[in-house]
Amino acid sequence: MAVVGAGPAGLALAAACAERSLPVVLVAPDPRAAWTATYGVWADEVDVPLRHRFERVRAVGTSAHDLGRAYGLVDNAALQAALLDRLPEGAVVDGRAVAVDHHDTSSTVALDDGRCLEATVVVVATGASRGLAEVRAGRPAWQVARGVVARCSSAPAPAGSCTLMDWTGPSGTDPTFLYAMDLGDGTWFLEETSLARRPALPLAAAAARLEARLARLGVELDEVLTAEDVVFPMGAPVPRPQRAVVFGAAGGLVHPATGYSVGASLRLAPTLAGAIDEGLSGRGGPAVAAALAWRALWPSSRRQVRLLEQWGLEALLRMDRRDIGAFFDAFFSVPSWPTYLQGSDSVAQTATLMRRVFAAAPSHVRRHLVAGRPWRAARAAGLA
């Protein structure tokens, strides 16, 4: 089998397949290129190496909340090296996949240099780019952020803490929040984030808001060590069943209302590898393996939860800063909030949390939570 894409999702899946002794190749233009994005996960969500772990995690809507759950920044280099080490010799192929053709008993992956790779099953794990798979038309929202790692003149948030989100700031439309982590020695990771907007907030606006926020806090950046721009779609439709297995961000695993995807991809990689193994070990062949893989990623319960998550995204898009700050005050007052951020396969659990958030929210937030049309959310999620 062939896994196209060498980000966390693709590499984790290739490693999981190799552990099951499935013949696998990992295909990407530069498969060993360093991952430059910043990946955050809940420490109890998935077992990965962390370069920073925060026991004190807070969120600020209109008031501060101690979340009581450890959070960490993934050690990209260590995780990537560990996953690559699990691949057999010769399993990594440098090349850009430009087309996939499916046959009765195999598929062909065409590379831009004229080479062709034969595979039983092809998995597309190419991030936001999904050109090798059949995709549904959608109208995604966009998460946009401008981030820096910098030495600061003073602490922009409590020392030693991770601020998951701080929505305080000027009132009005297009709210953004500060994502901040104390990396030690006066160094901070700071990111001004537009959680979800349709159309996307311009990157220049996110950069200007970070500068303005730090100025309000009286914080100067003494030295900027790295900078990061983040732009990715949220609420991409669930992929339809097809011969290519679509995984990770390419496969709709970006949480529609939070933007998280890496933790989900790492958790689901062994499950997906098991489904593919089951399909190929039977008599059904590649088509059956692809069908089992899709069902493993998108069982009926998960598709129904996705509809609720899409409804949540549409509600967030209707809120201004006053509304969204009060919403997150209500959200983090409900003890079961971790299941929603992490992603749940339980419809009852997700619906119960939503009802409790609604009960805790003020009236000006509730009107957004009940507005909208279910069929529009279903269509946006690719479920109608």
Averages of pLDDT over runs of 10 residues in the chain (384 residues) are: 97 98 97 95 94 97 96 97 97 97 95 97 90 82 96 96 94 88 96 96 96 96 96 89 94 89 95 96 88 96 92 93 95 93 86 95 94 65 61
Contact 4, 125 (CB under 8 A): yes
Count of CB atoms within 10 A of residue 262's CB?
25
> Cα–Cα distance between 238 and 252 in angstroms, integer?
5
H/E/C letters for each residue in the chain? CEEECCCHHHHHHHHHHHHCCCCCEEEECCCCCCCCCCCEEECCCCCCCEEEEECCEEEECCCEEECCCCEEEECHHHHHHHHHHCCCCCCEEECCEEEEEECCCCEEEEECCCCEEEECCEEECCCCCCCCCCCCCCCCEEEEEEEEEEEECCCCCCCCCEEEEECCCCCCCCCCEEEEEEEECCEEEEEEEEEEECCCCCHHHHHHHHHHHHHHHCCCEEEEEEEEEEEEEECCCCCCCCCCEECHHHHCCCCCCCCCCHHHHHHHHHHHHHHHHHHHHCCCCHHHHHHHHHHHHCCHHHHHHHHHHHHHHHHHHCCCHHHHHHHHHHHHHCCCHHHHHHCCCCHHHHHHHHHHHHHHCCHHHHHHHHCCCHHHHHHHCCCC
Matching CATH number, 2-35+75-137+239-298, of 3.40.109.10, 3.50.50.60, 3.40.50.300, 3.30.2310.20: 3.50.50.60
pTM > 0.75: yes or no: yes
CATH architecture label of 141-234 = 2-Layer Sandwich (3.30)
Return the pLDDT at 383: 62
Residue type, 107: S
How far apart CA 293 and CA 117 sit, in angstroms, is 21
The greatest distance separating any two alpha carbons of the chain, rounded to the nearest whole angstrom, comes to 67
* pLDDT value of residue 374: 60
- The residues spanned by each domain of the chain are 2-35+75-137+239-298, 141-234, 301-380
Looking at residue 302, its amino acid is R
pLDDT attached to residue 130: 74
